[in-house]
Structure 1
């Protein structure tokens, strides 16, 4: 292409839109370590104690109903920044998706949940994906659903994960728009969404 167009060869790709790429002879490693550290510095949690899990167990988030209000603008900035970090961090997909549902009117509970995720990131900034060379190209699909998990609207949540040679390549955690009447129904809807993604991948 350099014979026909004016361009510069910058070598192997190492950084693109906040994603770090480390290319080795036998593998490629993707991460957002620099982006994650910048988030902690930006929101004043650079020296916070790391959390073991991204969200407190047994805590059900719900809409603001008389609870203590918070700095909505700061909360929105944290949530929006966290959403981009899920590009290489499927372990954050569930907690970030849950707090993002309340971004229009966040309460102190939602702000605390967002800061808890940042504290978890403090101890996991180097997390990422390793994609080795070779493999048989086998794709595995996993999906699950949470029936009526939304306290306010009683909607369900579906999630799926696709692995190529046991390495994640596609994942989703989304709230379903239809209110279903049984766990069987919500499982079928989640499986249907996952199959649509499988057709695109294959």
Structure 2
């Protein structure tokens, strides 16, 4: 069987989800959610399989985003609609409720789907809407982590990690059960979708997944106690925001004591709405703090360029 793959999975990036919610709050778009009834087949395929979109799925009026192939937009007269696909979950955003109803009916004639109504719970993200904006959090997911790890009654911490904390891959005693540490860090990584305040700490601890040690586990427990202080904390996208992009970046020169590599950190706002952020180790060793800063600025410029193309699709 001939197999053709792309570099990335054909699912929407979470940054696009946050960007869509921010735009929906600003433009007062209606948000709707659909779920496709699908069945996963586990049979062996012996021959070649050729796939193409079904007739009528993509019309001349529909535009597939070049920034992300999971985003589709459609403009006709004064109505606008955006369709975002994540595996079998679909989010619709439009300024016309009738357009959403017509598309839902059209899709239902081609394959079975569930109409879940207004967007409230998507990929573990809890969405709440009011007259002043849209809030996004993962409170249920955070409480599940605290319950499973036994930290639901732990003493809260004021911050996730000491500002001058440095961790090494060689300090401390190796954990007898590294699987529990890896499972915990994996769940914390998903929690950073709505918690940018956890990004640096979780990124730092995720570098020791291969051979975690006692200090790494103690630091992870510190993050859990910080989550305990405010499990419902998340993001807020106000309706009074603008569509002006602004970004901030910084670097930590020689932030890693093992590799001597620097760290890049940035955050991007759409008006007053935080939609993108990152904390990542740089790929090469910077010979000066100025070089580390330039690499950080280059990273945020790449993100801004991509977001500009994405906003043009909207």
TM bucket normalised to smaller = over 0.9
Q: Among residues 10, 27, 50, which one is paired with 2:116 in the alignment?
A: 10
Match of 1:156 in 2: 262
Mapped partners of 1:8, 1:74: distance in 2:
36
Mapped partners of 1:139, 1:107: distance in 2:
41
- Report 1:104-123 matches (<5 A): 104-123=210-229
The SS at the match of 1:5 is: helix
| Per-residue Cα deviation, 1:43-101 (whole angstroms, up to 9, x for no partner) | 11111111111013432110134x22223111111111100000000000000000001
Match of 1:39 in 2: 145
Aligned pairs, how many? Answer: 201
Mapped partners of 1:15, 1:3: distance in 2:
22
Mapped partners of 1:14, 1:81: distance in 2:
21
> Post-superposition shift, 1:166?
2.0
The SS at the match of 2:227 is: helix
The SS at the match of 1:51 is: coil
Evaluate the alpha carbon distance shift between residue 60 and residue 3 of structure 1 in structure 2; reply closer, same or farther with a 3 A threshold: closer
> Post-superposition shift, 1:164?
1.2
Aligned-residue CA RMSD in angstroms?
Answer: 1.3
Query: Is the contact made by 1:162 and 1:169 (CA closer than 8 Å) also made in structure 2?
Result: yes
Match of 1:69 in 2: 174
Is structure 2 residue 188 aligned with structure 1 residue 82?
yes
Query: Is the contact made by 1:163 and 1:170 (CA closer than 8 Å) also made in structure 2?
Result: yes
Query: Is the contact made by 1:48 and 1:122 (CA closer than 8 Å) also made in structure 2?
Result: yes
The SS at the match of 1:41 is: helix
Match of 1:194 in 2: 300
Mapped partners of 2:123, 2:104: distance in 1:
24
The SS at the match of 1:140 is: strand
> Post-superposition shift, 1:133?
1.8
> Post-superposition shift, 1:8?
4.2
Q: Among residues 236, 242, 245, which one is paired with 1:139 in the alignment?
A: 245
For the pair shown, the structure with the greater C-alpha radius of gyration is: 2
More strand by share: 2
Q: Among residues 204, 208, 211, which one is paired with 1:98 in the alignment?
A: 204
Mapped partners of 1:3, 1:74: distance in 2:
45
The SS at the match of 2:222 is: helix
**What is the TM-score normalised by the length of structure 2?**
0.62
Structure 1 residue runs without a partner (length 5+): none
| Per-residue Cα deviation, 1:1-24 (whole angstroms, up to 9, x for no partner) | 243332443221111111100122
**What is the TM-score normalised by the length of structure 1?**
0.95
Match of 1:126 in 2: 232
Mapped partners of 2:257, 2:104: distance in 1:
58
Evaluate the alpha carbon distance shift between residue 8 and residue 102 of structure 1 in structure 2; reply closer, same or farther with a 3 A threshold: closer
The SS at the match of 1:101 is: helix
The SS at the match of 2:156 is: coil
Evaluate the alpha carbon distance shift between residue 2 and residue 161 of structure 1 in structure 2; reply closer, same or farther with a 3 A threshold: closer
Evaluate the alpha carbon distance shift between residue 75 and residue 134 of structure 1 in structure 2; reply closer, same or farther with a 3 A threshold: same
